[in-house]
Amino acid sequence: MSGSSAMSLYEIRLAGWKALSERLGPAGAMRFMMQYDPGRGDYSTERHEIFAGLTIDELLKSIEPAKPETP
């Protein structure tokens, strides 16, 4: 691979992602990258809007079908 000064930003990003993925695996590389992304919006406000008016019992009941069956 050529020196980083001769590489385009795209090439550097691609080489960096490849190195992270090879060393940490795809999930580990993504977890690493997420540490440097401040995110967008207001998580708490969005959750209050999404779940406004739901009781705990309603929320739990909506999750029930997603639970795996135990043998």
User: pTM for the full model?
Assistant: 0.44
Distance CA 17, CA 10 (A): 11
Domain borders along the chain are: 4-66
Q: Is the pLDDT of residue 16 over 50?
A: yes
Per-residue pLDDT at 25 exceeds 70 = yes
pLDDT in tens, 31-69: 998 888 777 888 889 988 988 888 989 888 888 766 676
Query: So what's the pLDDT on residue 9?
Result: 92
- Answer for the pair 15, 7: CB distance below 8 angstroms, yes or no: yes
- What does the DSSP assignment read for 4-71? GGGS-HHHHHHHHHHHHHHHHHHHHHHHHHHTT---SS-HHHHHHHHTTT--HHHHHHHHGGGSPPP-
